[in-house]
């Protein structure tokens, strides 16, 4: 198989190293990692199963390697390439460029045992960070605004700078939590508020992703059992938790992704709040925070053992509140195992 990759995580998957200026080229049995001199030492020490080439003109060098080969077809993922960079690569090449969207994601959809261990470790470290953040909020967080709480969450998630984050954490209070990807506001946290936190970290480049919604009272924790003062919020929370648990209990390898999505969506619809469930049930997680499989109403992907994805149903009532409960899971012997 002949292909060329530009995405950092996709390159890392191929050879165990990547940089922000590199290409990975596979020509039959030969593989080449092409980067510039800034990364020469690290590339020589880290790249596996590929020849390291240091050249300031990455695209020109890849062009020459392809031109000097006998290949007639080269796979590219069009999502990775700008028109400009593709023009540099393809200049005067008389081959067929075969476009395969999500080429690397499809290769990575089944996680190896080593990858599963890394993902599990990322999830465990993320859970520890949630506990640390809850402790801070309980002691010092009342009257702090979302900007400052988000800053503190970053410190907890990174374990004080030791790990990178999967994404900027979402810390949303009351009405702001009705926005699934809420940005921080000046809203200050008060006792008896609703607090939604969506965050994750990277362990050896592999991501974690977790969401909890809680009632802020003395000694609160990011646990499943929550009791709110508002009956409307409690009804929504109980529906989301029921939907979350239903998917974890009933999802099976061999099901289509849209069937797993229905395991959450049907519960919330039957509870009378289906119009407020505005996103898919989940997404794959690995080197990227969003990758295959996508657990959505339209996805016909067959779920298999060792796939990793999120289960994260939600209810979002504009200008009032939002509820989301999210866990990362994998499939083991046909059933869900929560990481």
Write down the domain spans for the chain.
3-107, 113-338
145-188 residue pLDDT tens: 999 999 999 999 999 999 999 999 999 999 999 999 999 999 99
Does 3.40.228.10 match the CATH number of domain 113-338? Answer: no
Same fold, 3-107 and 113-338: no
Q: For position 295, what pLDDT does the model report? A: 98
Average pLDDT of the chain to the nearest whole number: 97
Q: Which CATH class is domain 3-107?
A: alpha beta
CA–chain centroid gap for 240, Å, is 21
Residues above pLDDT 70, as percent of the chain? 100
Q: For position 267, what pLDDT does the model report? A: 98
254-285 residue pLDDT tens: 999 999 999 999 999 999 999 999 999 999 99
Q: For position 20, what pLDDT does the model report? A: 95
Q: For position 82, what pLDDT does the model report? A: 96
pTM higher than the cut 0.85:
yes
Query: Angle at the Cα of 215 (from 249 to 284), degrees rounded to 5?
Result: 40
Instruction: Please report, for residues 273, 281, 321, the alpha-carbon distance to residue 278 in angstroms, rounded to integers and kept in the order given.
Output: 10, 10, 13
Q: For position 41, what pLDDT does the model report? A: 97
71-107 residue pLDDT tens: 999 999 999 999 999 999 999 999 999 999 999 999 9
């Amino acid at each position: 198989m002949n292909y060329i990759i530009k995405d950092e995580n996709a390159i890392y998957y191929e050879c165990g190293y990547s940089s922000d200026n590199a290409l990975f080229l596979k020509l039959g049995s030969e593989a080449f990692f092409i980067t510039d001199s800034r990364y020469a030492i690290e590339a020589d020490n880290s790249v596996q199963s590929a020849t390291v080439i240091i050249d300031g003109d990455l695209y020109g060098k890849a062009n020459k390697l392809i031109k000097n080969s006998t290949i007639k077809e080269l796979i590219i993922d069009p999502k990775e390439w700008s028109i400009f960079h593709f023009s540099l690569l393809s200049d005067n090449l008389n081959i067929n460029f075969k476009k395969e969207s999500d080429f690397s994601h499809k290769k990575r959809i089944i996680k190896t045992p080593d990858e599963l261990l890394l993902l599990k470790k990322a999830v465990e470290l993320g859970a520890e960070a949630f506990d640390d953040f809850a402790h801070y909020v309980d002691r010092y967080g009342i009257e702090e605004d979302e900007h400052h709480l988000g800053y503190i969450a970053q410190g907890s998630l990174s374990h004080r700078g030791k790990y990178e984050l999967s994404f900027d954490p979402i810390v949303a209070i009351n009405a702001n939590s009705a926005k699934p990807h809420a940005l921080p506001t000046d809203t200050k946290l008060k006792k008896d508020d609703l607090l939604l936190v969506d965050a994750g970290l990277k362990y050896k480049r592999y991501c974690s992703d977790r969401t909890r919604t809680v009632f802020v009272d003395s000694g609160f924790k990011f646990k499943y059992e929550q009791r709110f003062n508002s009956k409307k919020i409690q009804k929504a929370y109980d529906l989301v938790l029921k939907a979350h648990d239903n998917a974890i209990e009933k999802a099976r390898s061999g099901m289509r992704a849209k069937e797993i999505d229905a395991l959450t969506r049907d519960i919330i619809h039957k509870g009378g709040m289906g119009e407020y469930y505005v996103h898919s049930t989940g997404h794959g997680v690995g080197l990227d925070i969003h990758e295959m499989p996508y657990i959505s109403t339209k996805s016909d992907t067959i779920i298999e053992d060792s796939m990793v994805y999120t289960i994260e149903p939600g209810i979002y009532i504009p200008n009032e509140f939002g509820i989301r409960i999210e866990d990362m899971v994998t499939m083991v012997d046909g059933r869900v195992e929560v990481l």
